[in-house]
Structure 1
């Protein structure tokens, strides 16, 4: 592909991503994969170059641009290499007309910039939310040790106080390596590993992962428990939960029991676990403001109304999870959000309604926020998270 053809492909992809954000369609990564699956002529260098152009634009504009071309025209004003690709070549975009309107936007939508500032984040914290993330791995102690896994990757870095975490440069390909195939490693952000450790899972425990998704945290819990005890991994999303079984088999995690739940009827399906769990971990659905480094187009999908709906769901799930905790057990609440409405304020609300429950420090990392801890890319070099650990009275 010529440089102009690469830019035209990026413009077409951005148009699809913008439409997807407006209409609740597929995520950017999925759209990019589909685009190139239908264009086998594009080589690996072409795909990489187009992807980099797409994400340069997505990261640059906090507010959704009017079109892919509008975004790239504005980007061309800042990058002479992009400007040179508007060359009018047969498969490239038409040259820029001086009269074309340039997209104007900060890196974060204005309403979210205000909201995050009110939640105590400074300019460096907010700017770091759209930096490109490294690739973090978790060494699976059911198969290997962190030292053995680290020895397989020349560019690896270890992360202080996260014993199983390995960090590789962004874009590293690991899913075709023997270490991946044999279940030695899982892709998991170091921050996700930190907040999962707030469960303090130990062999023999009975643990519920209430919003398990595809099971990343359930796998980490099973490893921490040395395959002794039970991890009930439940979710309402059949497609995501279906990915857990093959992952668990590859990882050698034999104590995970998947359970599909009906939305808004989770308590009924979990009645057999009432007052039984040593730990209930709730990685609640949220705005994802802490994961923009990996999903920057998510900024375009978020609205105040959607946050309100998520807050209501989180509140309900906390109450569902609390009913499963045995006397003396723990409820661990996690969101990959930096908005207090989804984090610290949720815990304040719960404790106001359950005065006999107590909060304790969940993890040593991060900074205090309300009754929990908060991780940010700028301060902790991880995705953004809020985590709290609550104890039910005996």
Structure 2
């Protein structure tokens, strides 16, 4: 593909990404993969170049553009003027530019989200936001049930120790993890350093009854299982729950590969308490990796800035409050609760805990919280809070 044809491909993909962001469709990565599945003539260099351009455009535009063409024009004017010369070129180039046609404006995030983040970070907001839109590293967690971090690092001098974590390692960008013998042997799992720190906050121990209330495909569940390692008859009980059947179904094979014993429970939305009735008041620890805006993971999914609306944020906050109440009911006296969102919006963090007035209504000790950010901690953005049942 000539450069002008690559530009046209990027415009066509961006049209689909913009529509998907508006209507709740597929992620950008999935759209790009599907696009090239039907275009076998595009070589690997073409696919990589188009993908890089698509994500460069997405990262440079805070507000959702009206079209892929407007997105590229706006990006080109602000970041890469050489692209403008490709409009109207020969071959499969996009049509020539027309005076006065729409062009997107560059920015870090939609204005209303940028204001919320400014409230959190104050004068440091621009630095924090810029880091949120950088490229994410490739982190893995060494599975302590299968290997030691020191042994894994000894075999790979180019892998980097993540000192802030107990088992984290950073791999060179572009590494195909699933092809590594360590992955196939269940010795490593892909997991961002921040996610590892969040799971470790629960301090799960052998012999305990632990619930991962929003387990998804089980990344944090497997980290909890490794913390609960010990003699097979003394590992305790680990229950992974979720309302998403497809995601939860990925956990059993992952657990088998990791050497973990995990129970799974598929919950019906609105009927979660009934499905967990037998565990009420008996759990030692509950982890809530709550559904959220994902604003802390914009490095990985920059188009998610275009998906979020005020209405959706309100719905997410209601779900988060329900999950905190449910988790509290599951705990025995003295049991521990950890609430996590991969979000840096105060509405899903401190304000969420304040609005639910948990200390007064649910019998919890005062919350202790921390935030992690790409700019300060080199990992995805997280809000992490912990408490215990009085």
TM-score range, shorter chain: over 0.9
**What corresponds to 1:188 in structure 2?**
191
The correspondence for 1:390, drawn from 375, 378, 387, is 387
**What corresponds to 1:247 in structure 2?**
254
**What corresponds to 1:14 in structure 2?**
14
SS of 1:214's partner is coil
Give the Å deviation of 1:154: 4.6
Give the Å deviation of 1:355: 6.9
**What corresponds to 1:329 in structure 2?**
335
Give the Å deviation of 1:88: 2.0
Partners in 2 of 1:356 and 1:94 — Cα distance? 64
2:209 is the counterpart of 1:206 = yes
Deviates more, 1:85-94 or 1:18-27: 85-94
Q: How does 1:264-283 map to 2 (within 5 A)?
A: 264-283=270-289
Aligned residues between the structures: 382
> 1:134–1:171: 8 Å Cα contact kept in structure 2?
no
Partners in 2 of 1:236 and 1:309 — Cα distance? 16
Partners in 2 of 1:59 and 1:339 — Cα distance? 19
> 1:75–1:82: 8 Å Cα contact kept in structure 2?
no
Give the Å deviation of 1:87: 5.4
2:105 is the counterpart of 1:104 = yes
Partners in 1 of 2:155 and 2:295 — Cα distance? 33
Give the Å deviation of 1:152: 4.4
**What corresponds to 1:231 in structure 2?**
238
**What corresponds to 2:323 in structure 1?**
317
Partners in 2 of 1:176 and 1:278 — Cα distance? 37
Partners in 1 of 2:25 and 2:44 — Cα distance? 26
- Give ranges in structure 1 of 5+ residues lacking alignment: 361-370
> 1:275–1:326: 8 Å Cα contact kept in structure 2?
yes
Partners in 2 of 1:28 and 1:82 — Cα distance? 21
**What corresponds to 2:36 in structure 1?**
36
The correspondence for 1:162, drawn from 147, 162, 165, is 165
Give the Å deviation of 1:84: 4.4
Partners in 1 of 2:322 and 2:184 — Cα distance? 38
SS of 1:175's partner is helix
Partners in 1 of 2:300 and 2:385 — Cα distance? 23
The correspondence for 1:259, drawn from 250, 265, 278, is 265
Deviates more, 1:264-273 or 1:244-253: 244-253
Please provide the CA RMSD for this pair. Answer: 1.7
Question: For 1:209-242, what per-residue CA distance to the aligned partner results, in whole angstroms no more than 9, with x for missing partners?
Answer: 0000110000111111116122100000111111
> 1:359–1:388: 8 Å Cα contact kept in structure 2?
no
Partners in 1 of 2:30 and 2:382 — Cα distance? 24
Partners in 2 of 1:302 and 1:381 — Cα distance? 24
Partners in 2 of 1:25 and 1:294 — Cα distance? 17
TM-score by length of 2: 0.93
Q: CA 1:340 to 1:25, structure 2 compared with 1: closer, same or farther past 3 Å?
A: same
Question: For 1:81-124, what per-residue CA distance to the aligned partner results, in whole angstroms no more than 9, with x for missing partners?
Answer: 43344352322223334543321141111001111112235221
Q: Say which structure is richer in helix.
A: 2
> 1:290–1:376: 8 Å Cα contact kept in structure 2?
yes
> 2:294–2:342: 8 Å Cα contact kept in structure 1?
yes
